[in-house]
Structure 1
Amino acid sequence: MQYRLLGRSGLAVSELCLGTMTFGNTTSESDSIDMIHRFLDRGGNFLDTANVYVSGRSEEIVGKAIQDRRSEVILATKVRFATAGHPNGVGVSRKHILDGVEASLKRLNTDYIDLYQVHVWDHATPIEETLRTLDDLVTSGKVRYIGCSNFFAWQLMKSLATSDWNRYVRFISIQPQYSLVSREMDREMLSLCLEENVGVIPWAPLGGGFLTGRYTREEPNSGRLTAKAGESSWAIRANEQNFAVLDAVLHAAKELDKTPAQVALSWLLQREGITSPIFGASTLEQFEDNMGAVGWSMPEPVWKRLDEVSSLPSEYPNRFIAKFARPF
């Protein structure tokens, strides 16, 4: 396992991050703890959870698994979504953040959170209030670093500018959806992260399972893609462009003697600007498959083929700007 600095910080994280959204739900507690221990034993140190995953059960399991190895773990969790039925039980107001961090610390059985992330932008709360509260948490020692997730590029830039102007702590990372079948952040977000040195830790790097090779053009009757709505739904994934990408992944997997999941993850690991893809697993077999993405490098011609087949169409203003690019 190799390590990379997370954004504009000295925090070293493993090149893969273990996501825990299924822990306590489709993944049993015993298997979840086993996965975490296997991950740590192989050099992984980056774990991602959230206060709403399985109504907090995921955080409890993570806390139990790392209680004797806390110092070697970079522990990330999130706040934003509803955790109570009253009006102040949602968002990133000062009240909800402070309530949320105390509840997460208790469930995680720890004194501090390494990376505390805003799960999605909150239009109801001024960003100054959110960032001042997060800055206070870093000053207090309950949080070490802060990040965000599911932001527009303008929202991230406004946040960074607000932090700089007020001398608040900055977001060092963003957690967006990003994969060979979901490259929307190529339009603006990825270039912004490169410019501002913001780490990128993608979720759904396998497209909700679409890139594992288990799906054909027939609508599935099992798995995450049976969802009727949301990002991991058949309606979103099942289109000819994505099937062309999947065909390329399957071809590359056969050529390289790797599994489709390993190919899809390896492409991300070699993508400029990507720090640590977050992979999840419902079973130990899936975990072992995903871990096979490290320890080897995809040949450049294969990487380029996957990049080309999955790239976004030429769009304004990118094509206009490229036309007038300076030759030096």
Structure 2
Amino acid sequence: MRTRRLGATGLTVSRLALGTMTWGGRTSAEDAEDLLTAFRDAGGTLVDTAHGYGGGSAEELLGRFLGGGRDDVVVVTKAGIGARSGDRVVDCSRRAMLHQLDTSLRRLGTDHVDVWAAHAWDDATPLEETVAALVHAWRSGRARYVGVSNHVGWQAARTMSLLAAEGVPLALDSVELSLVERRAERELADAARSLGFGLLPWSPLGRGVLTGRYRGGVPADSRLASDDLARFAGRHVGDHTRGVVESVRTAAEGLGVSPALVALAWVRDRPGVTAPVLGARTPRQLAQLLPVEDLELPAQIVEALDEVSSDLA
């Protein structure tokens, strides 16, 4: 698998990342181990997880599979989102962030992570306090690099300026980006290239809609059919994305590949992107996505997809 630098840092990573959000939930431990093995066998090195994924199961499984030997794996984990009484809670206070970091390190069975990120923007916590936690983790060696997640352009830039004042670089911003969700490109693509942080797009397949699997209804095994993920998956299903989905399908037919590969290649090669995060739930799904490494979209197809999805930017 080809590699890229993570933003302007010296860290080299694969240009695809493996996501672990469903590990310990909709993805069994056995399938999770097979996913990691297949990803590494394909040359993948970048693995994305978080303190809150699977109630902690994702980090625990990843730590177990790596077994302390991860010289060829770059681990990104995030803090600041948790659950309280079953509800999602954003808390990027210094106390919460560093407590979650300690927990993440224990689950992963290591004394440091490669990249540690604030998982969300927290309106209730002064940004200076969140940044202080990132700086402390970096200076103490518990995080080799730091980043943010789900920050729009001005939020990432403000965070970066506070980090820079402490001599700490911002390595990445992980945001949703796909052909049916292009708002991140308004500010972040230029900011990433100008300021030197990498973009890690999550849901590059538009929460599944760009695969075409919802064209004829809702499959029983899909996220849209599940009680816990229906709201998440359903955002991009509807008339507002139908034209994009059909255009991706047409391009895929012309190239002799799947719609998923077309959609994924488009995100992978957007300006400022380091690596899209593959959210495959099963080894079969991952096997269908890994051939994207050999796919380069012709310029005319990229231009056509840019045009048909321009209203979603």
Q: Please, what TM-score do these two structures have when normalized by structure 2?
A: 0.93
Confirm or deny that 1:27 pairs with 2:27. Answer: yes
CA contact (8 A) 1:49 1:76 kept: yes
Deviation at 1:68, TM superposition (A): 5.3
Q: Give a deviation string over 1:148-194, Cα, whole Å, max 9, x none.
A: 11112221111112222x32413211001000010011222222222
- Tell me which residue corresponds to 1:137: 137
Match for 1:15: what amino acid? R
SS in 2 for 1:33: helix
Determine the C-alpha separation between the residues in 2 that align with 1:2 and 1:114: 19
Aligned to 1:211: 210
2:135–2:166: 8 Å Cα contact kept in structure 1?
no
User: Which residue type is aligned with residue 53 of structure 2?
Assistant: Y
Partner of 1:319: none
Structure of higher RCO (CA pairs closer than 8 Å, 6+ residues apart) = 2
* Compared CA separation, residues 279 and 254, structure 1 to 2 (3 A): same
Distance verdict in 2 for CA 1:47–1:267, change over 3 Å: same
Partner in structure 1 of residue 61 of structure 2? 61
Give yes or no for contact 2:117–2:134 (8 Å, CA) kept in 1.
no
Hey, what's the Cα distance between the residues in 2 that align with 1:90 and 1:223?
Answer: 27
In 2, the alpha carbon distance for the partners of 1:120 and 1:68 equals: 28
Distance across 2 between alignment mates of 1:177 and 1:231: 16
Aligned to 2:241: 242
Aligned to 2:301: 302
C-alpha deviation, 1:286, in angstroms: 0.3
Q: Which residue of 1 aligns with 2:155?
A: 155
* Matched residue type, 2:108: L
**What secondary structure sits across from 2:65 in the alignment?**
helix
- C-alpha change, 1:230 and 1:196, in structure 2 (3 Å) is farther
Match of 2:73 in 1: 73
The whole-number CA distance in structure 1 between the counterparts of 2:28 and 2:282 is 9
Deviation, 1:69, is: 3.5
Amino acid in structure 2 at the alignment position of 1:233:
A
TM-superposed deviation, 1:210: 0.5
Q: For the residues of structure 2 that align with 1:38 and 1:313, how far apart are their CA atoms? A: 34
Task: Indicate yes or no: 2:232 matched with 1:232.
Answer: yes
The alpha carbon displacement at 1:213 in A equals 1.7
Matching residue of 2:267: 268
Q: Distance in 2 between matches of 1:21 and 1:8?
A: 27
Write the distance in 2 (CA, Å) between the matches of 1:30 and 1:264. 28
TM-superposed CA distance for 1:48, in Å, is 0.4
- In the alignment, the residues of structure 2 paired with residue 223 and residue 56 of structure 1 have an alpha-carbon distance, to the nearest angstrom, of 23
Amino acid at match of 1:193: A
Count of aligned positions: 309
Distance 1:231 1:112 in 2: 35
For residue 158 of structure 1, what is the amino acid of its counterpart? R
- What does the per-residue CA deviation read over 1:71-98, in whole Å, with 9 as the maximum and x for residues that have no partner? 111001110113566xxx8512121111
How far is the alpha carbon of 1:240 from its aligned partner? 2.7
Structure 1: any 5+ residue segments left out of the alignment?
315-328
CA contact (8 A) 2:180 2:312 kept: no
SS for the counterpart of 1:294 is: helix
CA contact (8 A) 2:213 2:219 kept: no
Cα distance between partner residues in 1 of 2:100 and 2:150: 19
Question: Which residue of 2 is the match for residue 114 of structure 1?
Answer: 114
SS in 1 for 2:172: strand
- The 3-state SS of whatever aligns with 2:207 is helix
* 1:188 counterpart residue number: 187
Q: How far is 1:199 from its partner? A: 0.4
**What are the superposed Cα offsets for residues 99-158 of structure 1, whole Å, 9 maximum, x if unpaired?**
111100011111111111111011222222221221121111111101111112221111
Closer, same or farther: CA 114–313 of 1 in aligned 2, 3 Å: closer
Alpha-carbon distance change, 303 to 8 in structure 1, aligned in 2, over 3 angstroms: same
Q: What residue identity is the alignment partner of 2:178?
A: S
User: Where does residue 41 of structure 2 map in the other structure?
Assistant: 41
Aligned in 2, Cα 1:91/1:313: closer, same or farther, shift over 3 Å? closer
**Structure with a larger share of its residues in strand:** 2
Quickly say closer, same or farther: Cα 1:90–1:233, change in 2 above 3 A: closer
* Runs of at least 5 residues in structure 2 that lack an aligned partner in the other structure: none
Cα pair 2:51 2:82 within 8 Å, conserved: no
CA-based RMSD of the aligned residues comes to 2.0
Q: Which secondary structure does the structure 2 equivalent of 1:215 belong to?
A: coil
Larger Rg: 1
Greater mean alpha carbon deviation, residues 17-26 or residues 76-85: 76-85
Out of 42-51 and 216-225, give the one that drifted further: 216-225
| TM alignment of 1:269-288, pairs within 5 A | 269-288=268-287
SS of the aligned residue for 2:7 comes to coil
Q: Percent identity?
A: 37
SS for the counterpart of 1:258 is coil
Q: Deviations over 1:271-308 (max 9, x none)?
A: 22111000111111101011111123111111211111
